[in-house]
Structure 1
Amino acid sequence: MPHIEWRGSKCRVKWWAGEYLPNGRKKYETQGGFEDEQVALNFGLDREHDVRHGTFVRSDKAVVLMREYCWAWHEAQELRPASLKSYKSIINSQIIPYWGNRRVSEIDAFEYDAWRKAVKGRAQRGEISDTYAEDIIGVFRLLMADAVTRYQYRTTSPVPPKQPHRGKYRKKKRAKKRPLEMGTLYQLATNAYMVWGFTGWVYIWHAAFTGMRPAEMYGLERIFTYPSWPASDPDRDRCRDSVERYAGVGPMPAVRVEHQYQWVGGEKTLVEPKYESSRTLVLPPFLAQMHQELAASHDSRWTFRSILGGDLLGARFDRDYWAPIRGGAEERTLRKDFLRPAIPAVEVMEGKPIYLLRHGHKEWLDEDGHSRIATESRMGHEVAGVEGLYGNVTPKMELRIMETLQVRWDEFVGRPGGLWLPPSPKPLPVDGS
């Protein structure tokens, strides 16, 4: 039962907060400033009701500002470095500037709806992408959900449960995509050779014929790449099993996707692939031959070196590599060690990210009729439900993938008139990194 006491012309109410002090005594909360005892008593009864039903917010938590809560929440998350970096950016640039001076406990549904509408409006006007708008709203949703269920800063979330059929329907804008044609890929690879030498030539074909993510290719080490792998695998048990499967009778050359290379706290760090999608990818014979030649051209730890011989994570890839490969570049004549002819633009790839080569790989697997479990596993995706539980990628499935990819290459290079192919590689200059 709440306790009422007068202090001068005002009274205050004291009630048990449902917690105990270190000495074992009950911990009480108080609220003053009442002029009527019944009003104060009702206030205390309401608080005790909240305590009994688990909806009470302690007074010290009720005054916490969003700017304090957001960073405490971010610090508590156990996520991959890329996700933490993305959340940090959204909190710093989008959440705190708008909500930072507000108490976590006082944000209501009307305010959230107005803010959400404003964020969506920015996307509709083209100020931010639809995906980024959804990311902003998604981070706020997580903040509010945890404020209720984990940290008890409020009793309910101002963000309603997802209701996909509520409100005016707006079709999501999707970038227009073209099927990945071999001719387009060939021009990209030829441009990459002019920008980056034989490494660039192999890089483009490898991206399109394996579907690896860019960060996975940055972190692809020689020991996990054909022809060294699987014999060079440091995991002895996996090495034994992989040698039997990929280098035994009817060998299937392959690479092992074991890491991705990212900046973590300002340091270059090998971390697990996205979604913990470590996997083995068989290579069509033509690509395996390219890797043999590439491996013989250098002794770097990395399969794909930068132009100066270091790792790709330290290079400005989008600006110095992908931009001229995709968009073309003028002739270079000033420096003898970096002479380069003019590079033609690949018009169908104008403004497009290199990630589309991965999308194209998925299209090819679907066109060739591979099973869903084989396709999604190769892409580094987990198949949910019973299908994923019982599914398994067999050697026969991998062999068929290898064969269909090789057919795609053979049909292209076997066209009348033939194609230019680069000569055997020469060692690139190194910068000591």
Structure 2
Amino acid sequence: MGALHEIESELTDDEIEVWRQREAARIERALQAGKTSRARKAPKHRIELFLDPPKNRTSAREVDVPPFLVRKLTQHLKTWEHEYAFFTPGGQWWRRGNFTRQQLRPAADGRLALPASRGHAPREAWEPILPGFTMRGARHTHDTWMKEDRVDRALRFSTMGWAVADIEGTYEHVTPQMGQDRLAALQARWERAGQAVQAT
């Protein structure tokens, strides 16, 4: 894996012509189906997405996950047809904009129901789960939980991808027992949360 990068490139004349042919075919299909469709404006640029090494040596790391998450990821991957576990359902890279807009904000803040309209199916309302939640907030919460659970500083810094520049960081190392203790604490938090939900 690596960090997702994007490059914007100007389309060549040949690429624009291919786009126009596809657009004409799209409009023709709509007309044959008895629908109307407006011609879209031809793009001037294309975006190329690719994986490249992370920005620094501490960004590339392995992070163990607790048993409950192993089960959920295994269940997800059994029916997942795409190359990477965290593609969109359509097999595209999640980018900061589309993930936040399409998934994170509706899940955290809720969304209104919408009736069916031309070209769009009806949409159910979602109750908010955690209004204002952000991915940055998730990192802060994870670090705070590790502090509460007395996870050793060496493992906490390694998990978060932080570089350590002091003497203590030079000499301290992560042990298997530290990792097991962290996973046990996360598993216990998950189980307590499930018990709290069942009690309500």
TM over 0.5: yes
- Of 328, 331, 355, which aligns to 2:113? 331
Give the whole-Å Cα distance in 1 for the aligned partners of 2:96 and 2:62: 26
Q: CA deviation at 1:326?
A: 2.4
Superposition pairs of residues 67-216 of structure 1, within 5 angstroms: none
Deviations 1:320-340 (A, max 9, x none): 222212221112442798554
Report the Cα distance in structure 1 between the residues aligned to 2:105 and 2:141, rounded to whole angstroms.
19
Deviation of 1:396 after TM superposition, in Å, equals 1.1
Shift of 1:397: 0.9
C-alpha deviation, 1:412, in angstroms: 1.4
State percent identity of aligned pairs.
25
Q: Following the alignment from structure 2 to structure 1, what is the Cα–Cα distance between the partners of residues 2 and 197?
A: 41
> What's the offset of the Cα at 1:305?
2.3
Runs (4+) of structure 1 moved beyond 4 Å?
A: 335-339
> For 1:301 and 1:390, how far apart are their aligned partners in 2?
39
Distance 2:101 2:165 in 1: 37
Structure 1 residues 62-93: Cα deviation after superposition (integer angstroms, max 9, x where no partner) = xxxxxxxxxxxxxxxxxxxxxxxxxxxxxxxx
| Contact map agreement 1:295 1:303 (CA 8 A) in 2 | yes
Give deviations 1:139-170, integer Å, cap 9, x for gaps: xxxxxxxxxxxxxxxxxxxxxxxxxxxxxxxx
Q: How does 1:57-72 map to 2 (within 5 A)?
A: none
2:2 alignment partner in structure 1 = 259
CA distance in 2 between partners of 1:314 and 1:362 (Å) = 22
Q: 1:307 to 1:331 in 2, by over 3 A?
A: farther
State the number of aligned residues: 160
Highest RCO, 1 vs 2 (Cα 8 Å, sep ≥ 6): 2
CA shift, 1:304, in A, is: 1.4
Q: Does the CA-based 8 Å contact 1:306-1:315 persist in structure 2?
A: no
Unaligned runs of 5+ in 2: 9-46
Which of the residues 342, 345, 354 maps onto 2:125?
Answer: 342
Contact in 2 for aligned 1:324/1:343 (Cα 8 Å):
yes
Gaps of 5+ in 1: 1-257, 420-433
- Contact preservation (8 Å) 1:362, 1:379: yes
TM-score by structure 2 length? 0.70
RMSD: 2.6
Write out per-residue CA displacement over residues 336-395 of structure 1, whole angstroms, 9 at most, x where no aligned residue: 98554211234x633x53221111100100110111111011000011122222121111
Please state how far the C-alpha of 1:317 moved relative to its aligned partner: 2.2
What one-letter code is carried by the residue in structure 1 that aligns with 2:198?
G
Aligned to 2:172: 391
Matches of 1:300 and 1:362 in 2, distance apart? 31
- Pair 1:358–1:283, CA change in 2 (3 A): same
